[in-house]
Structures are given as C-alpha cells and as structure tokens.
Amino acid sequence: MACRASGTTTPGNGLFPDSLPTFLKDSLDTYVQRALTDWQIPGVAVCVVKDGKVVVMKGYGVRELGQPEKVDENTLFMIGSNTKAFTATAIAMLDADKKLSLDDKVTKWLPEFKLDNKPAGEQAILRDLLCHRLGFMTFQGDFTYWTSNLTREQIIEKMSHIKAVYPFRTTWGYTNAAFLTAGQIIPKASGQTWEQFMQDSLFTPLGMTHTIALSKDLPAAPNKSAPYTMAEGRLVRIPYCKIDNLAPAGSISSSVSDMSKWVIMQLDKGKYEGRQIVPLSAIAQTRWPHSIMGNGGHLFNESHFALYGLGWMLQEYDGRKIVSHTGGVNGYVTSVTLLPEENLGIVVLTNTDQNAFYEALKWEILDAWLKLPYRNYSNVYLQRTLHQQQEEAKAERQFRDSANLHLPTTLPLTAYTGQYFNDVYGDIQVVQEKGEMRMIFSHHPDMYAKLESLGGNRFYATFSDPEFSKAVFPFATEGNKVKSVTVKVADFVEYTPYEFVKRP
C-alpha cells in the first residue's frame, strides 16, 4: 500500500523541530508508513499539541483506496465516541450557566424516561447518564439501536425494556443510549437541538470549520476519508455509518486540524485564543472521577487504575493524569488524549475499524515525550491482533466446512420459518428467499443474515453487513415445533445475545 505524509510539522511557542522528541522528529513518518502496510490502514491523521501550539500535524496514506487523494490535516474522519466528550461538555456548560443541574433527575427534563428497574429510572440524574452507571452491561442494547431505523425517542423508550445486568450505580457499563438521552435534554434546557448547540457553542467559537455534527452530512463533504473494515480476511469498503439516532454518543466527523483546536481549548482550561469558550467549572466537572472502570488500560499494565468522568476516561501513567477517550464506528477508530500536567495533547484518526494502531501511536508519542524507554507498541498490538484473527479464521473454516456438508436439520426447513419476537428488539423473520434461508430484521431493513445448516437445530449465520459478522444461531425446539432462536451479533456491536420467541 502506497503511503506518503502530507501536512506540516509546525514549530511554536519556543518548540522547534530540534526540540521535539527523537521519535517525533526522526521516526514518526517511517513508523506510521510501516503501520499502514502492517495494519492495512488506508489513511491516518495525527496531531500533537504542546503548550498551546500545534507541533505535529500530518496526514498519511489515502482517503480512499484506488483514488489519488491523500489524507491531509483537513480530511474528515468519523470520531465515534470521542463525540461523548463534546456532549458531556455541553451539558456541563448548561450546568455552569444554571440552565440545568448535573444533579437534576432525568425525569425532570424527560418525563417519559423509564428503566426496567423502576426506582433507578426515577432516581437517575444527568451524571448517571454521562458516566455509564445505569446498571447496563457495556454495549447492552446496541444491537437494537446501532444503524437501526429507530428514532431517538424510540431508542429512549426501548431502554425501559432492557433488564440491567448490574445494580444501579454499582458498576460501570458503557451505554451509548444514555448519552443519547443526555443529548435529548439539551433542547429542553437550551432551546437548540443537540447538533445546533454543538455548532453554535463549540464548533463555531473554536473555528472548527470542517467539523460535522451529523453522520448524514459526511458523504457530501469534499475532503473525507472512506470507511473500511475487514471481511473474509481482506479490507473492504463499507457504507458511511448512519447513526444520527444516537448522534450525541458518536456521530461527529472531524479532522486533526479542527480537533487540535478542541484539544488546545481543553488544555487551556476552556480558553481558546484568549476567549473563554467553556467555563472552567464545566471542564472540571467532566474530569471529576465518577465511575470505576478497572485496573488501568495500558498494554504493559503500567497504568494502575482507570476511572470515568463525564465523557472522558481518566487514568494514571508515569505519575501523571491522563484524560482520554477512544472512538469506534463502522469504518473508523480514533483516539484523543490529554496530559494536562505536561500541557500535551494527541489526536489519532484512522479509517478502518480493524486496527489497534490508533492506540499504539498514542502510547508511542506519550512515551517519547515522557522520555520513557522505547517499546514498539504497534508490533505488540499487531501480534495479538493477528493471533486473534487466526483463531477466528480457524473457527470460521470449521463452521464453513460443516455448512458445506449440508447436514440435515432436526425439522423440515419450513418449520424454522416465520416471525419471532424479542421484547427489546422487536420482530425478526426467517424466510426462504432466493434459494436460501434468511433472517430479516425489522429495525435493520437493509440487512439480512444468510442461514446455513450445521445439522440439528444449529445454523451458521452470515450477516450481509460485515460489521455484524458471523455467528452460530441455535434454535430451540419442543416436539416438532420451533420455540425460539438465539441471535448473537459481533462484539463490536454488542456482547449480549438475544432470544427471539417464535410467534404462533
């Protein structure tokens, strides 16, 4: 894969190229170019901010395979869950302006908000939404919501059908629908939609002229990267992700040029070019620890704890506090990292969702700046990823070999066809269509899963959308009747399996 750097390395505020860490000055280009090939990444953009100035801003590779346009500092990437810091900051700004309180009950602003745990729904406050402590398991419910045809209001209603895995406020569980709910409070308190508030209160004051709030507007942007994923062991171009029904959780698209301004403001206590864009109290609220995530999050276990603020992950590394987040949507993974004590910020954007290089590069830059011994993070992450891919490919070959045997099912194929229902998702349908068994999803009308018999009551399911991957769907029978089917999608979407009961 051809790859060349574009953009600039910019000196500023007394920082000249000679004073950059050796890795950034001498090795960055080679390191990233090698990664584009090793990880099969079409394009990468990176920026480093130090003491209020951009010291590195570069694009590598191409926006789209087979096309000549290079990635540059203004190329747009979906930033995924790095959107969450914007949403949490917006809510904290409204709190600072006394237009709402972070300690308000959610039902004060959204009376229709309910949880399956009724007392939890009644007691939940805005902070609970923004720090992932409603009791849900990470990604729980996302199969129902992700790239679905549900409206924002319908998603919030669907949350009331999900049985939380953990007791309320006891355990951190990453919940995209909670950030949607928080975003839906912004119009109630400000009179502006979430996307209007983003534009008027953050993007415009910061001069983020290329940044787009909604995913529907990305395809029309002139300088954008195309999304890619891995399928059948090769890189494939996929459609732009449509997640405006979850917009406050992950729909923003931005460039390293624009994100550098966001990072500079965050590191300067809410100021940008001498103007207070975000109140200092709002910055502080988002970085106050609210939930315990676990024991770190560093590849070599050198970060001793991981906490969650409001839209930010918080951890310690080499005696310093790191404020960061990652983002992943179909075709893109990204990271934003702040080291406030060093006045250092790092942004890495990539346009394939099957890489860990966006994290490797972050740690590489941090170690270089902190003068820690060199470790090739990309290589370690890559070996782990390749091993995992090999194991997955081996399992897939075994299932594929079984499917190719055309083993007989317990019951006639017509017994498995019909309508099935799950209280959270709703309806799915199993049909015989175009010479094969297919599962049709009511809230994902553009997607289906091809079902191939593995013998007995098990079918090998291949989703038409590669993001949902492949899985074994077991059907439960009683006598000569099918009672239910268990559906599992890719962990990238949701970990939790769904049981669908067959309608009479």
pLDDT of residue 400: 80
pLDDT reading at 6 higher than 80: no
Tokens representing 233 are: 């062991």
CB 263 within 8 A of CB 49: yes
Q: Which residue's entry shows tokens 């534009």?
A: 199
Q: Which amino acid is at 79?
A: I
pLDDT of residue 405: 82
- Band of residue 404 on the pLDDT scale cut at 50, 70, 90: confident
Per-residue pLDDT, averaged over 88-98, amounts to 99
Lowest mean pLDDT among 122-131, 305-314, 382-391: 382-391
pLDDT by residue (tens digit) across 452-481? 999 999 999 999 999 999 999 999 999 999
pLDDT by residue (tens digit) across 118-165? 999 999 999 999 999 999 999 999 999 999 999 999 999 999 999 999
Nearest to 12 by CA among 284, 474, 343, 249: 343
pLDDT of residue 396: 84
Rounded-to-integer distance, Cα 5 and Cα 17, Å: 16
pLDDT of residue 7: 41
Residue 195: how many CB atoms within 10 A of its CB? Answer: 21
For residue 259, report the phi and psi dihedrals to the nearest 5 degrees: -65, -25
pLDDT of residue 17: 53
Superfamily assignment of 75-356 in CATH? DD-peptidase/beta-lactamase superfamily (3.40.710.10)
Per-residue pLDDT, averaged over 169-176, amounts to 97
Task: Report the DSSP beta bridge partners of residue 498.
Answer: 487
Domain boundaries defined on the chain: 75-356, 407-502
Nearest to 39 by CA among 364, 356, 329, 336: 356
Rounded-to-integer distance, Cα 470 and Cα 484, Å: 19
pLDDT by residue (tens digit) across 282-303? 999 999 999 999 876 677 767 7
Per-residue pLDDT, averaged over 207-214, amounts to 99
pLDDT of residue 301: 66
pLDDT of residue 224: 99
Nearest to 70 by CA among 117, 19, 4: 4
Residue 367: how many CB atoms within 10 A of its CB? Answer: 19
When comparing pLDDT for 399 and 129, which is higher? 129
- Domain 75-356 shares a fold with domain 407-502: no
CB 41 within 8 A of CB 351: yes
Q: What percent of the chain has pLDDT over 90?
A: 88
Domain 407-502 in CATH 3.40.50.300? The answer is no
Q: Which amino acid is at 499?
A: E
